Structure 1
Amino acid sequence: MKTMSTPLAAVYSTSVMEHHHFNQTVTILQQDGHNILKSLSSDEYKRALSLIKHCILATDLALFFPNKARLSKIVAENSFDWQNNEHRALTQAVLMTGCDLIASAKPWAVQTETVKVIFEEFYEQGDAERMNGKEPIAMMDRQKAHELPQMQVGFMNGICMPCYELLSRVIPETDQLKERCRYNANKWEELAEEQKRRTEEEAI
């Protein structure tokens, strides 16, 4: 978004799409017949909007890492308290990331189809960047599509698994998400190894 210097990037300095999503939410709520929060008092309405904004902005993956670090420290110190507002806010934020990444914990057939669709969108952005004289990052480079399995291994092990592992410690009922994610991560590792073998054989 920022690389392409889009109008939205000029409006918002950080978390571009996330701020846009929140502002669109407020716009919808202000339309006749769409304000599902109209029965709330003024203070309740402000708190509700604050929570909505907090949760939407938390879907910015750049914010996941500091949120995870803070919540992990609290959990490691065995000091997590559901009555603590900061602890609840951090859990909400990590939960939003978990929701955003949920395809990684879906059945394998759903996971692969979702990745295919997402990467096609990435490649289209990379194509546009290349047409504008900019070299796209590997993830958005159609010419490096053969590296997709290995990229997924890094994504699953570096982001998805840590997210669900942390959530399972705070909310044990989410443990199945961690296990499904682990299964998919292992499948991507198998595909990455297979691709590596093919590449080595072709080089002989």
Structure 2
Amino acid sequence: MKSMSTPLASIYSTSVMEHHHFNQTVTILQQDGHNILKSLHSEEYKEVLGLIKYCILATDLALFFPNKAKLNAIIKEGNFDWKNDTHRSLAQAILMTACDLIATAKPWKVQTETVKVIFEEFYEQGDAEKINGREPIPMMDRTKANELPQMQVGFMRGICVPCYETISGVIPDAEKLKERSLYNAGKWEELAEEQKKITAEAQQQSTNDATEENGS
């Protein structure tokens, strides 16, 4: 978004979409019939709004990794305490990302259908970038759709599975989410291997065809 110099990118210097989401939340709350916090006193309202902002901004992956590292260190030491404000805030931050990524911990059919929808949005953005003379990143380039399984492997193994591993350290019942994300990661790895074979066979066939043409 920043590379395309969009209006949102010019308004926010960091966590562009996350700041936008928070501001949209505030806008909705200010509309008639939507202010679910109207019964709160001013200080309570300020506190809740601050928590909402913190949790929304925490979904920025740039903040996710340092937050996860801090929470993992606390879990490893066996000192996690829900009554500790810092511990609770870190858990809330990681839980927000866990919710954001929940499709990766859903049944395989749901996972694949969700990925199709998400990547179509990515490809549309990539198309727009090409129209504007920019080269989109691989995940937004529909001509590289064959790389999708391998991209998902990296995403699942690098972000999703570690996220649910951390959450299961403070919420035991989240172990099921970790197991499902691990299963889905394995399925993507199978598809990635199949795609590698298909690509290798196609390259070999292309080489054979070129050899035959040169020899005739």
TM-score by shorter chain over 0.5: yes
Give the secondary structure class of the aligned counterpart of 1:170.
coil
Partner residue in 2 for 1:116: 116
Partners in 1 of 2:105 and 2:180 — Cα distance? Answer: 5
CA distance in 2, matches of 1:170, 1:67: 14
Shift of residue 27 of structure 1? Answer: 1.3
- How far apart in 2 are the matches of 1:202 and 1:40? 64
1:126 Cα deviation from its structure 2 partner = 0.8
Identity of aligned pairs, percent?
76
Gaps of 5+ in 2: 205-216
Which residue of structure 1 lines up, in the alignment, with residue 194 of structure 2? Answer: 194
Aligned residues: CA RMSD: 0.8
**Unaligned runs of at least 5 residues, structure 1:** none
TM-score of the pair, normalised by structure 2: 0.92
- Counterpart of 1:189, as a letter, is E
After superposition, where does 1:138-157 map in structure 2 within 5 Å? 138-157=138-157
Partner amino acid, structure 2, of 1:11? I
1:39 aligns with 2:30: no
Distance 1:71 1:120 in 2: 34
CA distance in 2, matches of 1:35, 1:128: 36
- Structure 1 residue 3: deviation in Å? 1.4
1:2 equivalenced with 2:2 (yes/no): yes
Alignment size in residue pairs: 204
- Structure with bigger gyration radius: 2
State the shift of 1:90 in Å.
Answer: 0.4
2:84 matches 1:84:
yes
Shift of the alpha carbon at 1:138?
Answer: 0.8
TM-fit CA distance, 1:75: 0.9
Deviation at 1:6, TM superposition (A): 0.7
C-alpha displacement of 1:24: 1.1
TM-score when normalising by structure 1: 0.98
Distance 2:172 2:154 in 1: 25
